[in-house]
Structure 1
Amino acid sequence: MRKQMVTAAPAVAMTVVSMVLTLAVVVMWLGGSMPWQIALVVGLGLDGGWLATLAYERRLAAQGDHSTPVTVVGWTFGLAATGVLVAHALGEESTGAWLAVSWLPLAAKALWLVHGLWERTALTPVALDAIRGIQQEARDEAAVARARLRARAGTEEMRLTAVTQAGARVARVQATTAERLSGAWATLETARQGEGTARALTCVTGRVTPTSQPRWDLPVWGPFDPVPALDAAPALDDAELDRIVTALHSSETPPLSYRELSLRFRAAGHQASETRLRAAWRRVTTTAS
């Protein structure tokens, strides 16, 4: 209620000033042609009609209602009061000064209109608290999101820095190792190409045979000749595979297990895939049982 009175105070003040000014102008203007009591009644009637329509408008606004005829009557009284002030100003010597205050009735009416709009859009304290809570929650969530993003960015920066430093250390170690290895091979090559290397090594060992001359060849860093691959054993068909598995299975009593049979099969130099060998063993053991 107190807040509502504070917001309505400008309109109330403007209304009081406008009514007093209108009453004074009516009494001054009509007082020369009629008794001042009658002029006072005319002024009070004009202000009273305006005040009555304003009070009725306020009552309807408090009920959430609106009446266009009452609004039209209220603006009519405001225009009439403004007309009286303008007519009085035109008949006075200081016309500008009186015209400067002739807009007060319309200004008071406009302030009440603005106050009515404010009342229709005003919110309760509960709603205002809820809005403030929602806004604060949104600000909190935004702050937390910003902090989370900054923390992730810092963590990623630290990770990238650590990875970069580790990579630099690995590169330095590799470069140092390559340099040392190159130096070692250079030293080995120098020793290999030296004229006194063979004689120095011969003097500390004896000959294998009386006629043999020791020959020392240090390792060479360069291309090498590939060792020829062993010839693959021919693949066994199912009949031969069953025959070999049968012979191995019945070679001992009790018969060999699959694991022992597989080991002896491989040791004998035979070749067959694990799937085919197990299938042959199943065929042999099934037939035997």
Structure 2
Amino acid sequence: MTKPDFKRLLTVGPAVAMTAVSMVLTLAVIVMWLGGSMPWGIALVVGVGLDGGWLATLAYERRLARQGDHSNAITGVGWGFGAVATGVLVAHALGEPSPGPWLAVAWLPLAAKALWLVHGLWERTALTPAALDRIATIQQGARDQAAIARAELRAEAGTEETRLDAVTGAGKRVAEAQAKAARRLSGAWSELDGVRQGDGTGRALTCVTERVAPASQDASQPRWQLPVWGSFEELAAIEAPALTDDAIDRIVTELRASTNPPMTYNALAAAFRKAGHSAGETRLRASWKRVTTAEAVGQ
């Protein structure tokens, strides 16, 4: 038995079983109910007629379902037979001294009809094995892609974390090296300054070389002045006068005329600055455009 057949049996089996039980109960109740007032054969015909009408309606409804069709009228008639069967069982139960057991089974006809409805819904939504396999393949592919995307994100996050750790470690080592060099340089400068300020330094150095500084009023011997390492006064930069646009145009024209073929802009800019001229990139490029445009118009 294949898997779809097994699933079909799970829905159609209970419906068939409950329908059979409901028909037997309905037939038995009609025979017992009407057997006292008419021959039992006639009562049996009445019960078989009710069950037969219900069974025929159900068979026709199942035929339409297999054809992919549906009839509201047939469905209504089927529910009507089920309601009549239920009414017969309820009426019989109410006439019995102990109605509880009969009322407990009075719902079986309507339940059987509901189970056939469930089976019809299953048939309308059932898929072939090929379709189910394709759906499973699509879902598995989607899960695989999601897993790959998560793995890529985790890998990228790990790589970025490793890179940040490396950069942070390198920066820490550089800072420690700079701090160590600063401490050593500060200690060397302190020692050099102490030696420079000492009175014995000049006497020691003048033993091996000539005196380089005259004696001061407070010192009996001339002092040997060591180089001073510290802040110094910055000289003001010499600012060249700014060139006018006409002067820049004249220089650009001369530079272009100095070569054949004329220089490109990059070569001209390098030659312009190599000649000692100073001008902003924007002004130099604007001058280039004016000169080249004028040359094109003149040709």
Aligned to 1:195: 199
1:16 corresponds to 2:20: yes
Distance in 2 (CA, whole Å) between partners of 1:22 and 1:223 is: 117
Distance 1:225 1:66, change over 3 A: closer
Q: How does 1:136-147 map to 2 (within 5 A)?
A: 136-147=140-151
1:216 corresponds to 2:224: yes
Q: How does 1:141-220 map to 2 (within 5 A)?
A: 141-205=145-209, 216-220=224-228
Structure 2 gaps of 5+ residues are 213-220, 248-274, 279-299
Tell me the percent identity: 73
Matched residue type, 1:11: A
Shift of 1:39: 1.5
Within the candidate set 40, 52, 55, 1:48 is matched to: 52
1:2 corresponds to 2:2: no
Distance in 2 (CA, whole Å) between partners of 1:134 and 1:228 is: 76
Distance 1:214 1:229, change over 3 A: farther
Shift of 1:219: 1.0
1:81 corresponds to 2:85: yes
1:94 corresponds to 2:102: no
Structure 1 gaps of 5+ residues are 239-270, 275-289
Shift of 1:67: 1.5
Aligned to 2:294: none
Distance in 2 (CA, whole Å) between partners of 1:230 and 1:99 is: 116
Aligned to 1:282: none
Q: Which entry has the higher C-alpha Rg, 1 or 2?
A: 1
Distance in 2 (CA, whole Å) between partners of 1:109 and 1:170 is: 85
CA contact (8 A) 2:31 2:47 kept: yes
Distance in 2 (CA, whole Å) between partners of 1:28 and 1:50 is: 20
Shift of 1:79: 1.4
Distance 1:187 1:49, change over 3 A: same
Q: TM-score, normalised by structure 1?
A: 0.74
Within the candidate set 51, 72, 81, 2:76 is matched to: 72
Distance 1:225 1:37, change over 3 A: closer
Q: Give the secondary structure class of the aligned counterpart of 1:196.
A: helix
Q: TM-score, normalised by structure 2?
A: 0.72
**How big is each residue's C-alpha offset from its partner over 1:193-233, in whole Å with a ceiling of 9 and x where there is no partner?**
1111111111113579xxxx97632111223355688998x
Distance in 2 (CA, whole Å) between partners of 1:93 and 1:231 is: 126
Distance in 1 (CA, whole Å) between partners of 2:119 and 2:109 is: 15
CA contact (8 A) 2:61 2:70 kept: yes
Q: How does 1:121-132 map to 2 (within 5 A)?
A: 121-132=125-136
CA contact (8 A) 2:211 2:222 kept: yes
